[in-house]
Structure 1
Amino acid sequence: MTAKVMLVDDHPIVRRGYRALLEASGGITVMAEAGAPLAAMRAARHCAIDVAVLDLRLPGAGGLRLCQRLRRYQPQLRVLIFSAQSDFVTVRAARVAGARAFLDKRAPAEALASAVLGLVRGDVEIAHNAFANLHTAERPLTDRERAIVRRLAAGEDARDIAAALAISPKTVANHVYAVRDKLQVDSLAEVLRYGVDRGAAPAGGWL
């Protein structure tokens, strides 16, 4: 069985390298390429593909939104995220978006072809799949931590949050530190992105 693949990356030279790597491995045919989400959706409508290999940094809607759209349009499609942006929050968001595997671009060269073939075969474990690390890394946020992240994402500062929750600004800072530790992120900006991404989620629906 030949795995039919679509490559989505906004750099043509990079796509050319991926194509050469995949097709040289045997058992893989690159059926389509795209440099942006709209072109990828158009290609998916006109080509029979088994696996879509997506970068996350794409113009317009971006790779995560594209992953969601592809999975809604073609539920049986396996999406493989291939990105250098592999922090905990991003990897988890990719899984929530419906991706079946996530490879860091720093993985060994042969890992991409191996992952594509593994997805087509239905392998339970994919070598170098970042999703495997989520099971041991995930620690749920408390109700208080979720409330603070939600308020931060809405633009409130620590003093406003402290007043609203009847706690001290120092306690707010301690909760934010705990959230960063649980999400395994290094900056407040990444915490804010996490909150913005989940702004419409009910309190109990967050990690």
Structure 2
Amino acid sequence: MTAKVMLVDDHPIVRRGYRALLEACGGIAVVAEAGAPLAAMQAGRHGSIDVAVLDLRLPGAGGLRLCRRLRRYHPQLRVLIFSAQSDFVTVRAARAAGAHAFLDKRAPAEALADAVLAVVRGDASMAHDAITALHVGQQPLTERERLIVRRLAAGEGTKEIAIALAISPKTVSNHLCAAREKLQVGSLAEVIRYGVDHAASPAGGWA
């Protein structure tokens, strides 16, 4: 069976390269292309598409929001995120958005076709150097840690959060340090990005 793919990237030349790469491997046909989320949603209405290969850097809504919308309105469509942003926080956000797999753009060229076929098969046992597993073990954040991360992502400072929660700024900082360790990220900016990405996700999308 031929896997039918939609490519979503805002660079036409890049899409052309991906198309050539995928179709040269056999067993894959690129049946749709889109350079922006709206065009992707319109193309997704065609039930013949098996896998949408999405970049995260898209104009407007962006790749994560597009992934959520595709999964909501076209549940039969499988989504493979193909991005150079492959840090732990981004991968977790992709899982929360409903992606089936996440491939780093720095992977070997042939890995893209392998990943597409694996997604079609429902095969999660991909080699680690070719695809990032979305079911990564991780300690869950506590309710207090989630609350603080949400407030931080909403633009509140440490002192504001401390006042709102009737705790000391040092306690807020301690909770943020704990969240960083659990999320396995190296900076506060990545914690904030995690909070922003999950603000529009269901509660179950939080780690």
Instruction: Return the TM-score normalized by structure 2.
Output: 0.88
Letter in 1 for 2:58: L
Cα distance between partner residues in 2 of 1:201 and 1:71 = 13
Provide structure 2 residue ranges, at least 5 long, that are not aligned to the other structure. none
Cα distance between partner residues in 2 of 1:54 and 1:77 = 12
Letter in 1 for 2:133: F
Q: 1:189 to 1:12 in 2, by over 3 A?
A: same
Provide structure 1 residue ranges, at least 5 long, that are not aligned to the other structure. none
Q: How many aligned positions are there? A: 205
Q: 1:161 to 1:131 in 2, by over 3 A?
A: same
SS of the residue corresponding to residue 135 of structure 1 reads coil
Other-structure match for 1:182: 182
Other-structure match for 1:117: 117
Instruction: Return the TM-score normalized by structure 1.
Output: 0.88
- Percent identity between matched residues is 78
| Aligned residue runs from structure 1 range 122-141, under 5 A | 122-127=122-127, 128-132=130-134, 134-136=135-137, 138-141=138-141
Cα distance between partner residues in 2 of 1:12 and 1:21 = 14
Query: Are the aligned partners of 1:87 and 1:184 in contact in 2 as well (CA < 8 Å)?
Result: no
| Aligned residue runs from structure 1 range 20-169, under 5 A | 20-46=20-46, 48-127=48-127, 128-132=130-134, 134-136=135-137, 138-169=138-169
Q: 1:205 to 1:151 in 2, by over 3 A?
A: same
Q: 1:89 to 1:76 in 2, by over 3 A?
A: same
| RMSD across aligned positions (CA) | 2.2
Cα distance between partner residues in 2 of 1:10 and 1:109 = 19
Q: 1:165 to 1:102 in 2, by over 3 A?
A: same
Flag the structure with higher helix content. Answer: 1
